[in-house]
Amino acid sequence: MNDFRKVLLVMGILLFLLIGVAVLFALVSIGVWMTVPEPPRREGKPASMVGLLTLPLRNANFRSLTVFVCARTMAVMVAGPFFTVYMLKNLGVPYTQIAILAGLSTVSSIAANPLWGYLADKYGHKPVLHISSLGIALVPLCWFFATKSNYPLVVSAVQVWAGVLAPGVLLSQFNLMVKIAPEEHRSAYVGFHSAAVNLAASLGAILGGLLADVYSGLPEVLLFGRPVAHLQWVFLTSCSLRLLTWPLLAAVKEEKEVSARVVLDRLRSGQPVSTLWNLMRMLRSSDPATKAQAARSLGGTGSSLAVEELIALLDDSDRQVRREAARALGEIGDPRAVAPLIERLRDPTADIIEEAAEALGRIPTGRSLESLAQMLGDERPSVRKSAVVALAELGDARAREPMERMLEVERDPTVFVAAAHALSRIGGRRVLHVLRRLLRRSSPGVGRKELASSLGRLLGPPGVFYRLLEAEPMAQEAMVARAFSGARRRLARALATDPEHRAQVEDNCSAGLQYFARGRYGEAVGCVYRLAAASVRSFAASEKGDALLPGQEDQDPTSLTPTQRVSLLLRENEHLRINLGFLAGLHSDSRRQELHLEEALLAVFAYQQLMDALAGLERASGRSTRSPEGRQV
């Protein structure tokens, strides 16, 4: 008996302490509430009681919102009271686990609340309500799949899902109501809305109870391979009603409305969790280093959700923050950043011209191209170089002409090299001849090598010509020797029945190699060009060439002249045409003045590319070659 009294005493003390803590927190909350300033009151026009009650009904937009919220609340309450009943009766969930699952939903709501608040402040309450109300409409359907064996996983997922979406519904629903209600007599609007919603909740609960009684008498049926009975029908009904009420929100209008699809697209564009975390760091910090790091991280997420905040950082007082913001906007590539970046591009005081140009180079729009092209005429070499690099990144063929004009007058070597590289990335037949003319007039040094390297990227795969250009002199001679040896073997096979022309090929190969070794590059290029022309004519006149000539199915190939055959072949193969055309241009230059080493190396490289193209055509034809007659070398 004494032990029982001790237990009662301990329980009484604990109960007293709990009540005391609750009273203490209540007093603290009253004290905190007393510090909240009262907003200034505005007296509205006097109105009768009936007039105040009918005011909300006469406001079409407010009426539409109230109808939607009432309908949604009624649909929610059809199943809302039965979730706990279903866990206890059907799933056999202990009370302790029910409390834990409820706590899981609460924690999820607390964690998700900042996200919905941020989205509502940025895009408006209606799109947030659109998204969250649709997502939470599916909650009853998820309960349909819960069984005694899987409820720890399924119900936990449902609670987290509902907990994440519930703050979006509650926050946007209330704030949208306050925003739509006119300031004058707002209390009447809020009171009417609350009364209507509470009435709808009561009716929904009553309807749910009636449906539960009706469904309890129905036999169990199989639906999608699962047994359905009693409360499961209530859940399915609630889900259907929620989905049916969702389109009612379309009638509600919000100032500066943004569609839910736009918000979803921006949420999906990157990593929303990482984006939100870095946005919070950036917005709450007053440390420039933290802001710059957060901006850099936001660029890495690729999320367009952060574009507006990064644009605002372009005016930050710290230059490093502005630079990182511009770079991040370029990595995200959202067109909304184009106009602000152009403004900083034209503002020398912003001191981020290079970064803004680089960012514009990653956002392919007409305005980006136009602004960068205008920068090519800037008096500052660093600005011109930044514009050239950005235009190369855009890769737009429309940038070719302004860069070609700039190259004709550019005197700064670093800008010149960057422009040559940019043109090689943009490509085009005209670019090839422009760079060839510039190479002809260039002085020895890095600029000439860069021009030659750019031409090599236009003639063949990137990096291949570089190995030839940067090889040691002896290695270069060995590579050139292999090219002439390959030409000799190939043409010897093709001209096996023509001793005279075969002898001419032998002479060109031997002479070309000797000219190159003696530094007589013009004569060496002439030999290479004649070998290339012979190779193309040989293939065009062969049986394999016949198989690839276009539009000759009904015409005898022998009726075509050698020149017609070559023209048709070159017209159908751009790579072959580019390399042979380049060799022809170099050969023409060699007749007027002596060429330099880089031009000779390019000629050898172009011939190798031409031979590779012909080998590919031979494999594509699938037929044996024949040795034609009447060729000239």
- The pLDDT tens digits of the residues spanning 254-286 come to 887 788 888 888 777 777 778 878 888 888 878
pLDDT higher than threshold 70 for residue 547: no
Strands of 295-443, DSSP E: none
Q: Which one has a higher pLDDT value, 289 or 566?
A: 289
- Per the CB < 8 A criterion, the answer to whether 547 and 622 are in contact is yes
Exposure b/e, 73-95, CB count within 10 A at least 16 = b: bbbbbbbbebbeebbeebbebee
Which H or E run contains 238?
Answer: helix 231-245
Any bridge partners for residue 226, and if so which?
223
pLDDT for 531? 83
Rounded distance, CA 16 to CA 22, Å? 10
pLDDT at 415: 82
Q: Structure tokens of 264?
A: 């979803």
CATH topology agreement for domains 270-363 and 364-470: yes
As a whole number of angstroms, the distance between CA 280 and CA 284 comes to 6
Q: What pLDDT, on the 0 to 100 scale, is given for residue 624?
A: 40
What is the Cα–Cα distance from 419 to 424, expressed in whole angstroms? 9
CATH number of 270-363: 1.25.10.10
Q: Is the pLDDT at 495 greater than 70, yes or no?
A: no
Distance CA 297, CA 448 (A): 40
Helix (H) / strand (E) element for 88: namely helix 83-89
Mean pLDDT of 126-140: 89
Q: Reduce the DSSP state of residue 221 to 3 states and report it.
A: strand
Pairwise CA distance, residues 614 & 573, whole Å: 10
- Long-range pairs, 338-347, Cβ under 8 A, ≥24: 338/363, 338/365, 338/367, 338/368, 339/367, 340/311, 340/314, 341/314, 342/367, 342/368, 342/371, 344/314, 345/371, 345/375, 346/371
pLDDT at 67 over 90: yes
Closest-CA residue to 562 (of 546, 582, 541): 541
- For residue 433, which amino acid is it? H
Residue 68: pLDDT band with limits 50, 70, 90: very high
Q: What is the DSSP letter of 150?
A: T
Rounded CA separation 21/431 (Å):
81
Residue spans of the domains in the chain: they are 56-265, 270-363, 364-470, 472-551+558-621
Is pLDDT above 60 for 126? yes
Residues 6+ apart with CB under 8 A from 283: 309
101 contacts 156 by C-beta, under 8 angstroms: yes
* C-beta separation of 469 from 600 below 8 A: no
Q: Are 313 and 322 in contact (CB under 8 A)?
A: yes
CA dihedral sign of residues 47, 52, 55, 56: positive
> By percentage, how much of the chain surpasses pLDDT 90?
7
- Residue 212, token pair as written in the block: 């539960």
Nearest to 250 by CA among 266, 235, 237, 261: 261
User: What does the pLDDT average to over 133-137?
Assistant: 89
Return the closest-CA partner of residue 566 out of 580, 583, 586, 582: 580
Answer whether 456's CB lies under 8 Å from 464's CB.
yes
Predicted pLDDT at 486: 77
Mean pLDDT for the stretch of residues 506-530: 85
* Structure-model confidence comparison of residues 237 and 425, the more confident one: 237
- Cα separation, 620 vs 328, in Å, equals 47
* CA neighbor of 184 nearest in space, from 46, 350, 87, 88: 46
In the predicted structure, residue 630 carries a pLDDT above the cut 70: no
What's the burial of 431, exposed, middle or buried (CB within 10 Å: 0-12/13-18/19+)? buried
The answer to whether 439 touches 596, Cβ cutoff 8 Å, is no
Whether residue 389 has pLDDT greater than 90 = no
Reported residue count of the chain is 633
- Give the pLDDT score at 202: 92
Confidence of residue 69 (pLDDT cuts 50, 70, 90): very high
pLDDT in tens, 191-246: 888 999 999 999 999 998 998 888 887 777 776 666 677 788 888 889 889 999 98
In this predicted model, what pLDDT tens digit does every residue of 157-189 receive, in sequence order?
888 999 999 999 999 999 999 888 887 777 888
Region 369-394: mean pLDDT is 84
What pLDDT band is residue 629 in, cutting at 50, 70 and 90? Answer: very low
Are 337 and 311 contacting, i.e. CB atoms less than 8 angstroms apart?
A: yes
- Domain 56-265 class? mainly alpha
3-state secondary structure 510-566: HHHHHHHHHCCHHHHHHHHHHHHHHHHHHHHCCHHHHHHCCCCCCCCHHHCCHHHHH
pLDDT band at 447 (very low <50, low <70, confident <90, very high): confident
Burial of 161 (0-12, 13-18, 19+ CB in 10 A): middle
Does 552 score more than 60 pLDDT? no
Lowest mean pLDDT among 72-81, 239-248, 407-416: 407-416
Distance in angstroms (rounded) separating the CA atoms of residues 281 and 283: 6
Burial 29-43, CB ≥16 within 10 A → b, else e: eeeeeeeeeeeeeee
Q: Name the residue type at position 67.
A: V
Instruction: For residues 48-58, give the mean pLDDT.
Output: 69
Q: What pLDDT sits at residue 494? A: 62
Which range (11-15, 427-431, 547-551, 558-562) has the least confidence?
Answer: 547-551
CB 108 within 8 A of CB 163: yes
Give start and end residues of each alpha helix (H) in 410-542.
Answer: 413-426, 429-441, 446-459, 464-469, 473-494, 499-518, 521-540
- Residue 498, pLDDT > 70, answer no
pLDDT for 3 beyond 90: no
Percent of the chain with pLDDT over 70: 88
| Phi, psi angles (nearest 5°) of residue 222 | -95, 130
pLDDT band at 51 (very low <50, low <70, confident <90, very high): low
Average pLDDT over residues 538-558: 61
Contact between 298 and 311 (Cβ < 8 Å): no
pLDDT attached to residue 204: 92
Both structure tokens of 551: 């539009």
- Cβ atoms of 353 and 322 closer than 8 Å: no
Averaged confidence pLDDT in the chain: 81
Q: What CATH code is assigned to 364-470?
A: 1.25.10.10
Determine the Cα–Cα distance for residues 496 and 469; give it in Å rounded to an integer: 34
Selection from 216-230, 321-335, 364-378, 571-585 with the highest mean pLDDT: 321-335
For residues 172 and 126, the answer to whether their CB atoms sit within 8 Å is yes
